[in-house]
Amino acid sequence: MGHEAGRNCILIVIMALLGAMAAPAQAQEIRLQETTTPLAEALVRLAGQTSVDLVYAQSLVQNVTISCAYTGPSALNALRCLLRGTGLDARTTRPGQIVIVEAAEPIRRRTVSGLVSDDSGLPLAGAHVFLTDLSRGAITNRTGFFTFPDMRSGLHRVRISFLGFAPLDTLIAASDRPAAIRLRTEAVSAQDVLVESSEPRPGDRTPLPGMVAPPIARLERLPASLGGQDLLEALTWMPGIRRAGEVTGGLLVRGAGPDQNLYLLDGAPVYHPWHAFSLISTFQTETFRSVRVFRGAFPAEFGGRLSAVLDAELSDGRGPEPRASGAVNTHSARFLIEAPLSERASFMLGGRRSYVDRLIGREHPVEDDLGRKDTLKTGYYFYDWTAKLVFRPDDLSRVSITSYRGRDDLDLRLPFDVSLDLSSWLRPTDLLFEVSEWWRNRVVSVRYERLLSTRWYLTATSYDSRYQAREGAYLRPTLASDVRSTYGVDIRDAGLRVDMDYFRSDRHEFRMGWQAVSREFDSDVDALIRYNPDLFERLQEESNVRSVELSGYAQDTWRPSRHLEVLAGLRAVAFGSDRQIRLEPRLSAQWTLHPRLLLARGSFTRSYQYLHRIRDRHSFLYDIVSSRWIPSSRSADPARGTEWAVGLETRPRAYTIRLGGYLRRQHRVLLPRDVFQSKDDLSGPGIEVGTLLGQYEPGEARAFGVEAGLGHAGRRWMSQLSLTAERSDARPETGNQPFRPTRFDVPLAGRLYVERRWGAWSLGGAAVLRSGYPITVPEARYELSGPLDQEPVTYLYRPTVHNGRLPAYGRIDISAARDFRWLDAAWHVRLQLYNVLNHRNVIDRFYEPEGSRVVTRNQRGLPILPLFELRLDL
């Protein structure tokens, strides 16, 4: 018993000594000083300072960063400091072991968001924002806004980059207010890379195979046929877009007609975006901040046309310093001023006017050998004004006011028998014609944008767009007869549009909105035809049509994975008095096969067009230059279009390569009942809508094609190649007639522009080649005569429409430019030779019976033309 008691005492003493030794170890002080540290690393350091066994699932702590400062003896308190704000909790399961679990209370989810701008406060659209800890990315929208919804509370490490600016690594707290972020400009040097403007990389765009958004700086370098800065001309270098005529006519997109395009200027429609009888567009490239073109496939937010949508946003003048430029070219002179008014306001003002009337004069007093005097007129000019004022009441809102005014004015008084001999024009005569015509566009747009929260973004646009034209004519073909007429067209389009963006999560981004539009279509004609002093005919008519359109849409950008993006939307429209609601589903998808090298797109688009553009096909007294639009009604259904499209895109190095294909069907489009009707009568049937519709019939059209485009922009070389193979045909919906090629059917077309820079010098060459347009070739001739006819009348037999084709069209242009400084200013001079080979293409062909044979007469295109431009930048 004594020995056993002694052993127990010894054990008690040893345990006491061990406890005394262990006590200092348990009481060892723990020190933590962590700042935006990955939680997994902080846990390893904590375990190294304690003997506590930490148990946790790796999935709970990965991609979590923490900040913590702790000094003390408690391992449990130190761990809770590390887990504060992470949604995790620490629990002791047994002595010496702590388990990390999800907090019992649900954590509060917040949003990481911000507004990215440059040094001057100009929003940077297309900037790349990357959460380095979570490997998640986003792209800023056109207002510089980005958001990452459903984030844990706390600080997050973010990297922001944009071409031409220094990358920024910063910390952004998840909160209910967006962070204001400004990037500094940075000089970027590379051997063969020219930093122009940001164009998103392949995976950054919307998943629409037909959408192109070339940088404005690149569009400014693409040549216009007649020189100057012309946005619509520059867009013809993109695949699937071309002009209807040699240098005139509207834009043709994927084989559709020019009336099937919607032109938006800061959200307001422009009905006639052309000057000089469609030679020059009203859109000057340098006045714009961004341009998007949707070819065939467009999202649910756009509607009202079947072929394409041009969404152009004017520059707002924000920049570190004021900027001014002026230029004069072959046909006009222009200026542009951009300047900040304060830290929150800026403006842009641009103007342009032709000057040929200043060179040759508008009025010419003449006198012949007999002393007769007269005043002949050769007046023509066009002008336009573009202005934009931007004001930011606070960091979360933006107000912009846009105004555009443009006008063409033609005033002619010439002998009736003018010839190519210009010296014979300016002479007194009793037989003459007078033409007094003008047409103009006036657009006012007010847009309000507001970041309501980190998830909601509001855009409200109100606009008033008006197109007017007035045609006056006086003809005196003989001493006993004359014709006087005036004809007017007035189109007014006023609308209110509200769009809402909802950033649900990084997988779902919703956009929804509604629009109300009121349209007025007025026209009038007053014509007096005097055949002789005792016989005359008078035509007086007015036409007034009103329509209201209500529409709404909703669309979701769904990203189920890093490689797949789906854009699904639905548009609903109620038009006119019938209030029938028509649905327009839209669906597109983008699959990223390689993050930087290859992506594939596909889309399905259903759309309606509720406006038809028609003209009288009989009288030459009206509908000469004006555009006559009429709304759909019970007697004219809206046209319906369906298009399927696919596309591939890759960007190896500094190149952009696009391949695409499409298939389109259209129904209820208006086709002429008599394609051979000549517009050469004095008195037509009138301007009433029903009368004009009687000259047309509903038809169906179809088109399919493949496109290829290659673009390159480097420091020394720039090139743009577009190739298109397409077919388009149409037929009336009744009569079971076969499909025939449309007026602008072109099986093959290609355009190439190459530019090389040597220091201050640059040389460029452009080549245009396409198939000839379809024509109708007569197959026979026949003669008819009546009992009162002195001679039989010869007619041409043309049973088949568009059974022939003009010769292929080809042209080569060259240019040379030089930059230099003079008088403390930057100057740019450019010389261009249009059609340098002087190959006058056949652009039309006529067949006329003469006696016993049919004579072919060709209308040829423009010869070689020297063009110039001189620009001054301050």
Q: Of 102, 123, 156, which closes a domain?
A: 102
Q: Do 413 and 441 fall within a single domain?
A: yes
pLDDT for 449 beyond 50: yes
Across the range 32-43, mean pLDDT stands at: 83
User: Which pLDDT value is given to residue 1?
Assistant: 46
Number of domains in the chain: 3
246 with 125, same domain: the answer is no
Q: If you average pLDDT over residues 50-76, what whole number do you get?
A: 80
Secondary structure (DSSP) of 626-640: --EEEE-BTTBPPEE
Angle at 683 between CA 796 and CA 525, to 5 degrees: 140
- Structure confidence at residue 193 (pLDDT): 40
Decide which of 615 and 774 is more confident: 774
pLDDT band with cut points at 50, 70 and 90 for residue 417: low
Binning pLDDT at 50, 70 and 90, where does residue 196 land?
very low
Q: Which of 152-156, 356-360, 622-626 has the lowest mean pLDDT?
A: 622-626
Average pLDDT over residues 347-360: 93
Distance CA 168, CA 347 (A): 29
Please indicate, yes or no, if residue 77 is contained in any of the structural domains.
Answer: yes
Statement to judge: residues 523 and 584 lie in one domain = yes
pLDDT at 727 over 70: yes
145 with 176, same domain?
A: yes
pLDDT digits (tens, 9 = 90+) for 596-621: 678 899 999 999 999 999 888 777 77
Among 36-50, 350-364, 828-842, the range scoring the smallest mean pLDDT is 36-50
| pLDDT at residue number 837 | 97
pTM recorded for the entire structure: 0.83
Burial 823-845 (b: 16+ CB within 10 A, else e): eeeeebebebbbbbeeeebbbeb
User: Are both 143 and 289 inside the same structural domain?
Assistant: no
Same domain, 87 and 153: no
Does some domain include residue 193?
Answer: no
pLDDT tier, 106 (very low <50, low <70, confident <90, very high otherwise): low
Average pLDDT over residues 457-474: 94
Tell me the average pLDDT of the chain.
Answer: 86
pLDDT at 200: 43
Q: Which domain holds residue 307?
A: 212-873
Lowest mean pLDDT among 102-106, 216-220, 667-671: 102-106
Is the residue at 409 inside a domain? yes
What is the model's pLDDT at position 232?
95
Q: Ramachandran region of residue 24, left (φ > 0), alpha (ψ -120 to 50) or beta?
A: alpha
Which residues neighbour 313 within 8 Å (Cβ) at sequence distance 6 or greater?
142, 266, 288, 289, 290, 291
- Assign 426 a pLDDT band (cuts: 50, 70, 90): low
Residues facing residue 444 across a β-bridge: 403, 464
Q: Which of 151, 186, 221 is the last residue of a domain?
A: 186
Decide which of 2 and 743 is more confident.
743
Q: What is the pLDDT of residue 661?
A: 96
What mean pLDDT is predicted for residues 751-777? 96
Q: Can you give the pLDDT at residue 302?
A: 96
Q: Which residues pair with 758 in a beta bridge?
A: 761
Q: Residue 649 falls within a domain, yes or no?
A: yes
| Cα distance between residue 810 and residue 769, in whole Å | 4
Indicate whether 854 and 830 sit together in one domain: yes
pLDDT in tens, 317-327: 887 789 999 99
The count of other CB atoms within 10 Å of the CB of residue 467 is 22
What pLDDT, on the 0 to 100 scale, is given for residue 507? 84
Which CATH number covers residue 163? 2.60.40.1120
pLDDT score of 154? 76
Tell me what pLDDT residue 300 has. Answer: 96
